[in-house]
Structure 1
Amino acid sequence: MIMNEKIKASEVQLTGIDGEDLGVMPTSHALALAKKLKVDLVCTSMMSSPPPCKLVGAGKAREEAQQQRKREQAPKVKEIRLTPHIEAHDYDTKKQQAERILKSGDAVLLVVRIQGKEGPEAKTLLESLIDDLKLAGRKQTGIQLSGKQAAVQLDPLT
């Protein structure tokens, strides 16, 4: 996002604070108008000629840029490991941990380590966790049982 004096184009297509079209004008006039109104001149795209610019309230442009960067970042996948024979307190701790991760915008991979014939217990544990976390996230894939582990990925609700 290019703002104020960093706009190098000789003229810009200007949009006002309330979205009204102010037409094509020299960049110097647009900057003077922005200073007079105590707002920022923000260029939305440099791909066209003249580039479209808009007047945005002071500080709002930076907030918009930060939100845009946050949206562009891919969510991370964080892994939480469990065992089928988990006690109630430990279960609650892992559930809260997963909930916190999902609410921060990252995905959670719940992995249960299996030894011997613990497959059905692991599947039941993951199903109850999915049910308890349905307000914070939804499962991306089904429960995958493979060899020594059972896993499911939960994505945050956006």
Structure 2
Amino acid sequence: MMQFTQRARTIALRTAKHAALAGVLLVSAVTAMAQTDSPIGTWQTIDDHTGQPKALVQISQDSSGSLSGKVIKGLNANDQPDRRCTECTDARKDQLILGMTIVSDMKKDGEGWDHGQILDPENGKVYKCKMHLEDGGNKLVVRGYIGVSLLGRSQTWIRQQ
């Protein structure tokens, strides 16, 4: 009887470990899937003129489901951490670029996100914005435009792990 109880306990422990492992794997799979079908996360921006990495932007979602993005790190060796948006004409005028929200009010629209705005801290201008994922969720194509999206430019941001 003692051997049976010990064996039952061992089997129960193994079963619990396997169930726990299966749970961890399931959560990991769901998290990975969520990362590939949503722009939520950290993105490396690329300078249009030099083709070099420029900054890291953290995109997050608020309680209403809208996405916003803020600069969390400058990657250009020439950028000073105390650099300010001297060209901005709104409430961000002379504010630090590091920590600044540059993407706001993005809403899910079909396969992409639209109806938001993006600030170019280099010139202080605010543009309408739309974005969509490519390459299995590893690239984010961000388009800033005036009026209609044909009149604008796109950047491809790279997801950071």
TM-score clears 0.5: no
Q: TM-score, normalised by structure 2?
A: 0.31
Q: How does the TM-score come out when normalised to structure 1?
A: 0.32
**Structure ranking higher in strand proportion:** 2
